[in-house]
Amino acid sequence: MAIAVSSVADTCRAAKRAARALAQTDTVVKDAALEAIAAALESRTDEILAANARDMQLAREADIGEALLDRLRLDDARVGAITGAVRQIAALADPVGEVIDGRRLANGLDVRKVRVPLGVIAVVYEARPNVTIDAAALCLKSGNAIVLRGSSSATHSNAALARIAAEAAVAAGLPDGCVSLVSGGGRDELVELATQSDTVDLIIPRGGEGLKHALQAVATVPVIYAASGNCHVYVDAGADLDRAEAIVLNAKTQRPGVCNAAETLLVHERVAAEFLPRVLGALAAAAVQVRADERTHNAIADSHAIPDLKIEEATDEDWATEYLAPIIAVGVVDSVEDAIEHVGRYGSGHSEAIVTRDTAAARAFQLGVDAACVYVNASTRFTDGGEFGMGAEIGNSTQKLHARGPIGLRELCTFKYLVEGDGHVRA
């Protein structure tokens, strides 16, 4: 199985050969391979958890922090969720061959625009070993070969997961080389992968800004950036404050180390004095550090609900930071327009939310905020391929071309025009 190949170039060439076969593989074969992967994950869970335990021990010794440890950690439930996602992907409609558009031209030519696989997709990712299987399953279902390059922090977990997936897929009839893993080595390996223009059709990096900038400097292969998430929740003057508190807590605390967690809370000045003491108290109880502007300090100055709350002064850097940790920046604004302006200045285009009962404010936020996902009265934590009914995702794109938001099956396809005539020649 194409897990240990002599070089990055050899791995990518093997993937290219596999991609040609995958593009012609029937849906029933692909689905059987995904079921085989799911069954193998179930039967070899102990092997996966043992590999993950080695990574977790090394990560603790390296003191990578609780949020990143949470992203790295696997247990029976998480392996079960990964397995369930594979089966969900298998149950989805195959996008390959889907007719996007079709018509007969005035000259009698029949033209169909149909989805086809991209070919070879390289996924470069940090920390989260579940991406190994989510990405492999999505690529195989959409008829693509995949080259995986995880981080050094998840070396053992990724190797075990990729090996299991590759062995199961090939045994079920998919071509050798359909799932490949290159080691989580240094910059030279990343540069080599990012410049395989003859064999790799797309790179999707899933990680922080450092990874993004490293690829921007060297990539000759097209890239869709599953980029950072500096996400906001704006509580409007017309908000139901009970719902607002629940949404803020969910968006910030459910999993603070993920890209769709909220990093900034904005509150309309008309509800600041009522809402901020309660929500900041709840955040403090959840061990979230608060970095707030002067108006927030003023709004809670007379409150006795949170006498021991320590709030740091927010700096301009805080508004622009994706913490991926139990830290939140908090500010007071005068209007929905000011909230939109703040999001436009500091947001990363990932996921933004407004809490309001004012339909005009909600509509203004939807139209004014430029992001892949814009929520009204819901947590930013829903930006996820699984939650959106895609089975899983490779990442969330903040770009505007080809793919935006969760990258699922259809986003891993391009299209071609199939044109049929009857001896037609152009005059």
Express each pLDDT in 129-169 by its tens digit. 999 999 999 999 999 999 999 988 999 999 999 999 999 99
Residue 2 confidence (pLDDT) above 60: no
Q: Identify the pLDDT of residue 283.
A: 95
Where is 49: in which H helix or E strand? helix 45-62
What is the C-alpha separation between 232 and 237, in angstroms, rounded? 16
Residue 292 near residue 329 (C-beta atoms within 8 A):
yes
CATH number of the 231-382 domain: 3.40.309.10
What pTM was computed for the model? Answer: 0.86
What's the distance, Cα to Cα, between the start and end of the chain in Å? 52
Would you list the domain boundaries of the chain? 8-226+394-420, 231-382
What lies within 8 Å, CB to CB, of 8 at 6+ separation is 182, 189, 192, 193, 196
Q: Is 380 exposed, middle or buried (0-12, 13-18, 19+ CB in 10 A)?
A: buried
| CATH code for the domain defined by 8-226+394-420 | 3.40.605.10
Query: Quick one: average pLDDT of 338-351?
Result: 97
Burial class (CB in 10 A: 0-12, 13-18, 19+), 267: buried
Reported confidence tier of residue 301, pLDDT bands at 50, 70, 90? confident
Residue with tokens 């605390």: 253
Residue 303 has pLDDT above 80, yes or no: no
Q: Rounded to an integer, what distance in angstroms lies between the CA atom of residue 379 and that of residue 354?
A: 9
